[in-house]
Amino acid sequence: MELEKIVDPIQLFKKWLSEAEKKEIRDPNAMQLATVSKDGMPSVRTVLLKDIIDGDFVFYTNYESRKSREIIQTGKGAICFYWKSLNRQVRLVGNLEKVSDEVSDKYYQSRSKGSRIGAWASKQSRELESREHLMQQVKSFEEKYNDNDIPRPSFWGGFGLKPEEFEFWEDGDFRLHDRFILKPTNVKSEWIAKRHYP
């Protein structure tokens, strides 16, 4: 890929994601999210990219989960997409902040009723005494919200990662991969791309 043709890494990401949506068997929007605690202990898990809003990569979670606690403590994170069908990877590093209540409300209401009930029933990341207890919680909230009007829990919503660095990686023969990193310049919306050794 010619680096001088890369003007906007988000547009390039969207192009790669669109190509992955045609090839990946499931969840081409799956991404590994790495966070770190205030004590410097890293943690990683897979979440789903749900939107890109004003350049922020948005996902949703329980605000009382381990990932949320670490995000609130440090405000830092990294994301990695890997599409095996395309032999491509994209890595992002940046700051994380909560999205607005309006954005979280809109996405929450777009979810299935079961998923909305699940957000109420699951005390994410906390110890669970039994699977049966979780299902009892689900049943209890189904009875409480027996129609389709289920409000978003205040402890559930979105985060957006604002990239400060992109790395695009494409597989090459004999492990001579094509790898380039983009960082913002001092000029608004301008990025500089540099190729790196694989």
Q: Are strands 76-83 and 56-62 parallel, antiparallel or unpaired?
A: unpaired
Longest dimension (CA), the chain: 59
Q: Is 174 left (phi over 0), alpha (psi -120 to 50) or beta?
A: left
Distance CA 114, CA 130 (A): 20
Phi and psi (nearest 5°) for 116?
-65, -40
Distance CA 176, CA 163 (A): 26
Size of the chain in residues: 198
Report yes or no: 119 and 138 within 8 Å, Cβ to Cβ.
no
Report yes or no: 26 and 84 within 8 Å, Cβ to Cβ.
no
Q: Catalytic: 175?
A: yes
Record the tokens describing residue 196, joined without a space: 């790196």
> Which is the catalytic residue, given 88, 111, 131, 175?
175
> Known catalytic residues?
175
